[in-house]
Chain A
């Protein structure tokens, strides 16, 4: 079960909320000058946002959110993912991580490089949200086909802080804006993948270990 059958009376990590905007600061030519001419802030109102704070950190008039985005149509090129897009949230084999045609065309050396990595996450900064009746359908154009879907995804890199006086604690918050809550199992999957996003050791640091 991807979502909890009943939402609790508190904001939780991974919750889907409505009614919050998303912001991205933009700097055209760093460093910034004191007149702030080279910077702007992009603001848009996504239909839904996802809570990215751990449950115990929600409060003090602020919250970390990331917008719920349409999924990439290119995922449908991989039959393993197309069968169940939430597989992207879990560890998979090197072969499952790429479209079958791409795997077939890969040189033996490239395949060996990937096989040596073993089972791990693909698209480590993305997490898929399963379809739900409360999430509106949209159309994806894949080749000549139109696919109706209400799967969504989040990109951890879009996470931003939002200040709101009504968010006192996880319980004392505008709970009427809460649309969906993840099940305990799915929340653990999200926690694992977010952790791995930061836990992956780059090659240049492996030598120092």
Chain B
């Protein structure tokens, strides 16, 4: 078997195979991480944003709430627009 053929087969296996690990690595697919309670769920979407499946679920190690995380980023500096 030539080296090129070997590589093609491997690429096909990576992109067209089924199974959890392979789905998560499909080329051109989008992966979006959603916080869900204390977990982070990675959702896989096709290039046209159709739901394909869940590719990963892991424990969210940042135990701050969504609200606590966004406020710690800062706030809108708007004083210049609301002077009396």
Are B84 and A97 closer than 8 Å at their CB atoms? no
Residue A118 lies at the interface, judged by CB distance under 8 Å to chain B: yes
Tell me, rounded to whole Å, the shortest Cβ–Cβ distance linking A119 to chain B: 6
Are A97 and B74 closer than 8 Å at their CB atoms? no
Q: Could you tell me which residues of chain B, from 29 to 70, have a CB within 8 Å of some CB in chain A?
A: 67-68, 70
User: Out of B68, B75, B83, which one reaches A121, CB within 8 Å?
Assistant: B75
User: Out of B70, B73, B84, which one reaches A72, CB within 8 Å?
Assistant: B84
Residue A163 lies at the interface, judged by CB distance under 8 Å to chain B: no
Are A192 and B72 closer than 8 Å at their CB atoms? no
**Which of B73, B78, B83 gathers most chain A CB within 10 Å?**
B78
Are A74 and B76 closer than 8 Å at their CB atoms? no
Question: Can you show 14 pairs from A to B with CB atoms below 8 A apart?
Answer: A74-B83, A91-B67, A97-B78, A98-B78, A102-B81, A117-B75, A120-B74, A122-B78, A123-B78, A199-B68, A199-B71, A199-B72, A200-B71, A200-B75
Are A99 and B81 closer than 8 Å at their CB atoms? yes
| B contact set with A: CB distance below 8 Å | 67-68, 70-76, 78-79, 81-84
Report the Cα distance A199→B79, complex, angstroms: 19
Given contacts A117-B76, A195-B71, 11 further A-B pairs with CB under 8 A are A72-B84, A75-B82, A78-B81, A97-B78, A102-B81, A120-B75, A122-B78, A199-B68, A200-B71, A200-B72, A200-B75
Residue A17 lies at the interface, judged by CB distance under 8 Å to chain B: no
Report the Cα distance A94→B78, complex, angstroms: 10
Tell me, rounded to whole Å, the shortest Cβ–Cβ distance linking B83 to chain A: 6
Using A196-B71, A199-B71 as known contacts, say yes or no to A120 and B76 having CB atoms under 8 A apart.
yes
| A contact set with B: CB distance below 8 Å | 72-75, 77-78, 91-92, 94, 97-99, 102, 114, 117-124, 192, 195-196, 199-201, 203
Report the Cα distance A196→B75, complex, angstroms: 9
Contacts of B78 in A (CB 8 A): 97-98, 122-123
Are A121 and B81 closer than 8 Å at their CB atoms? no
Are B81 and A77 closer than 8 Å at their CB atoms? yes
Tell me, rounded to whole Å, the shortest Cβ–Cβ distance linking B52 to chain A: 27
